[in-house]
């Protein structure tokens, strides 16, 4: 809860933590809320987002949640190795695409050499 200026609950006077909303109407919007939910203290930090950003952030949120579910399914829910699998597979897509592109380049190069040898 290290932020300035501090925001305090109007009912209990405690410093309110800053949260990030991932609800459909307010994705990515920051707000302050008392840890005692019964106090009902809520104060927005950010202005409302545009409809375009709401849709974009909502789609990104859904994609991240879908990927997290996929990783959890691969590792089994509650498996402590899930984080390790996420770290190991974080760059696999990028590396896989790079290797695939390099292999295509090599195949094209070798094909060109063979055709050149046949023609000459």
Written as one string, the DSSP assignment of 48-110 is PPPHHHHHHHHHHHHHHHHHHHHHHHHH-TT-TTHHHHHHHHTTHHHHHHHHHHHHHHHHHHH
Domain ranges of the chain: 1-49, 50-89, 91-120
Mean pLDDT of 37-51: 89
Which residues, in sequence order, are CB contacts of 77 under 8 Å at separation 6+? none
Mean pLDDT of 85-114: 64
Q: Please tell me what DSSP assigns to residue 35.
A: S
> Is it the case that residue 45 has pLDDT exceeding 80?
yes
Q: What is the pTM of this model?
A: 0.53
> Is it the case that residue 97 has pLDDT exceeding 80?
no
């Amino acid at each position: 809860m290290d932020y300035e200026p501090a925001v305090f609950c109007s009912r209990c006077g405690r410093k309110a933590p800053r949260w990030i909303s991932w609800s459909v109407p307010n994705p990515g919007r920051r707000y302050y809320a008392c840890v005692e939910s019964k106090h009902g203290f809520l104060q927005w930090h950010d202005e409302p987002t545009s409809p375009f950003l709401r849709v974009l952030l909502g789609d990104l949120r859904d994609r991240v949640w879908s990927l997290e579910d996929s990783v959890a399914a691969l590792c089994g829910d509650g498996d402590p190795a899930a984080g390790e699998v996420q770290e190991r597979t974080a760059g696999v897509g990028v590396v896989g695409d790079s290797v695939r592109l390099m292999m295509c380049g090599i195949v094209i190069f070798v094909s060109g050499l063979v055709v050149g040898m046949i023609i000459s």
